[in-house]
Chains A and B, each alone.
Chain A
Amino acid sequence: MRKIALVLTMALLVSVAVFAGAQAEAQAGGAFTPSKNIDWYVTSSPGGGSDIFTRTIMDIAVAKDLLNGQNVVVQYKTDGAGEVGRLLVSQLKAGVQADHTLLTFNSGDLMPMVKNTNNRFENFQPIAHMAVDKHLIFVGEMSKYKSFEEVLAALKRGERMVLGGSKGDDIACHAALIAELGVSQDQLSYIAHDATSGAITAILGGHFDLLISKPAAASQYVEAGKITPILALSTSRFPGNLNSAPTLSEFGYKNVEVPNWRSIVAPKTMSAEAVAYWTDVFKKVSETEEWNKGYIEKQKLVPDYMDAATFTAYGMNFQKEYLASIGKDK
């Protein structure tokens, strides 16, 4: 028995030594290159928007050999509506693992996170902001209103109406809109659906009058003439078949927009060299044809690469504004 105990102790000591040694090596300085598999966390189900985003970038990075021949393992951590996964990444200790860990992070993740948990943006290391998406308001074939002028007039008359959209950033957009227009929740109510497709189904069936959506989900219905954009929630009009929708400033209000951004972050403890490495990898990805034609255009997004430093400032500001809008101070 004692012999076994001795052997086990030796084994344990050796492994601890190796582990410590490896860690020391990682911190030895010099440029970072991946030396093992990369763990990329996605906090929503496979097949969804975040998954497609992650896999597209991953495929491009591997194809262009930006990862030093290492592979990416996509880890889905959907527990607790994604909060468990986010918390896990934010709490990773410094070391080799932290340098090889990434997390797909959208504004739609940030908002529930700060609203419902104590986790905050500063617990992560922002790496790269990749793309942005904005919203429009649409009416359906059966809607009472045909243009935003009619909507405004109806609101002034005291009529009540319902806006449908998905959960997440659409909710924040609705809140910002009614704040700017000066109407109450009760006059312009909001119905959140699990996904925009649910809201589109409902408006096609004529169950309410207004729809808020991002271009990707809505564009084919605009093509088919089933829905019409009447307001662009952005600082400028949208291109293509969405161009007919005016912005709020054309009606005399301040422009309202709550951009839905897609980005990549890492544990706070990631080393500076690794951060520099990763932000550069994603910069290269954002410049490729596959990214711009194969993903951005297809998904009707706006490409908007921000490196780690720029993104940090942007993200912190976004968080601050959002917290203020929901009445929390930090």
Chain B
Amino acid sequence: MTTVLLLLITGVGLGALYFLVASGLSLIYGLMGVLNFAHGSFLTLAGFLGWEVGRRVGDGSWAGLLTGMLVGLVVGALVAAITELVFIRPLYNRHIEQVLVTVGLGLASVALFEGIWGTDPIQIRLPEWLGQTTDVLGANIPNDRWLLIGSAALVLVGIVLFLQKTSYGLVIRAGVENRTMVTALGIDVRRAFTIVFAIGGAAAGLGGVLASVYYGQVGAHQGTSLLIYAFIVTVIGGLGSLSGAAIASVLVAVIQQFANFYLGGTGDLAVVLALAAVLLVRPTGLMGKVKH
């Protein structure tokens, strides 16, 4: 029972990380039809810069970590917005070229990070509390999971509030439903593109700093490896659906944890099988709508 509880909560913690990456991917795809292969690079860059700034403020202290998280948010949003303006916008409505450009950016940026920070991951220092565990009904849960779950929940609430309560959120929601109609009503939907990229980038940037907390290190390939899981989560949840991404993140991570523990480290395979099963039964994903 305690094992199941442990696996469940650590699974939700990992799912929180997946959600931070997948939420942006899903929103961007839903609005613009672009599968962003450079998303992992937003995450990696934010992770590195967050760590660089954080350790100067206070290595291994809460102030350093919180500053790092803030830097990650800002860096992710800025880099994503610049990417949209410089690389995505000129290729407006040419989806395949947009995907190819993000593929190129992803490959090139990882190489650049390797050049700057080296190929090997760098171990980082964290506040002591994060290295300890909390007893929940007999299960010793690592404390960093609480940070992950809390941050992801805040991001989820923040994005939902933004989408529901602001006028830009309204434009974005309408754009996901029917972009042509929004344009026909005289609204410049392109500004919404930049905003969605910035939001997705900010979530990924925060995810980058939290990924370094989760793994205890920052590395040039951290974003790329998380990106593959985020893709799987996005497809399972239904491309363009935020709630789908949230549910699928937790589902995928929990399946992965349980398969890793009970089926001899086959977590990766279990996730892929889950993807195949979902696609065969329901090609649009769990919460995906059929697009017209």
Chain B associates with chain A: no
The residues of A with any CB-CB pair to B shorter than 8 Å are none
